[in-house]
Amino acid sequence: MIRVTVNGSSHALDVMDSTTLLDLLRDRLGLTGTKECCDLGECGACTILVEGRSVNSCLVLAAEANGQSITTIEGVASDGRLNRLQDAFLEKGAVQCGFCIPGQVMAAEYLLRQNPHPSAADVKEGLCGNLCRCGAYEQIIEAVLAANQTSRESLSPSGGGQGGGR
Ligand code: FES
Ligand code: FES
């Protein structure tokens, strides 16, 4: 049996040795926002945060996550409000089919936690492991840069923006 905390909720689960963290999230916990695509660590569709670090959940065994805290795309909004990145993706139209977007948002969340004020080059590098078959890269980069701007505004004395400071 393993114990994990997912988006703030504790779970005790029996898992097989071969169960991946991605399978655990999608098939056992019903958190299907994390997408399954290559299963090889090459596309980034399954990106989540484990103990605050960005990982491809298809490459991690569920047993390895025992005792750890996990954040998925379902856990980034709070009180029914999208976070600054989700707002920015919508505002910039950085969504076509949408399949890659949960992974893009999670990778961007990690990037902004590590580097709150990235350049466009930083964003490109930070998201280089997240593929978008629709080719929405330009809008995705714009969205991450816009979310960064929102964070700055929310930190300023006059700023009333939402979602900053995660
Ligand atoms: S499904 Fe995990 S990296 Fe592609
Ligand atoms: S929006 Fe379709 S794969 Fe990225």
pLDDT, tens only, 96-151: 999 999 999 999 999 999 999 999 999 999 999 999 999 999 999 999 999 987 65
Q: Which CATH class is domain 2-75?
A: alpha beta
Distance 94 CA to ligand 2 centre (A): 9
Look up residue 42 and give its two tokens: 């090459």
Q: How far apart are CA 143 and CA 16, in angstroms?
A: 39
Pocket test for ligand 1, best of 58, 72, 127 (most atoms within 8 A of CB): 58
Mean pLDDT rounded to a whole number for the chain:
91
Picking from 160, 44, 156, the residue whose alpha carbon sits closest to that of residue 111 is 44
Asked if 143 and 89 touch (Cβ cutoff 8 Å), the reply is: yes
pLDDT digits (tens, 9 = 90+) for 62-96: 999 999 999 999 999 988 899 999 999 999 999 99
What CATH architecture is 84-155? Orthogonal Bundle (1.10)
Distance 136 CA to ligand 2 centre (A): 7
Query: pLDDT at residue 160 above 50?
Result: no
What confidence score (pLDDT) does residue 148 get?
81
Band (pLDDT 50/70/90 cuts) for residue 153 is low
Band (pLDDT 50/70/90 cuts) for residue 162 is very low
Q: Where are the domains of the chain?
A: 2-75, 84-155
**What values do phi and psi take at 21, rounded to 5?**
-65, -35
What confidence score (pLDDT) does residue 82 get?
94
Is 41 touching ligand 1 by the criterion CB < 6 Å?
A: yes
Q: For the chain, where are the alpha helices, taking DSSP H only?
A: 21-23, 84-91, 101-114, 120-126, 137-155
Other CB atoms within 10 Å distance of the CB of residue 130 = 23
Residue nearest to atom 2 of ligand 2 (CA): 97
Query: pLDDT at residue 166 above 60?
Result: no
What confidence score (pLDDT) does residue 110 get?
97
- Sheet containing 69-71: give its strands across: 9-13, 2-6, 69-71, 47-50, 53-56
Is 49 touching ligand 1 by the criterion CB < 6 Å?
A: no
Looking at the CA of 40, name the nearest ligand: 1
What confidence score (pLDDT) does residue 80 get?
87
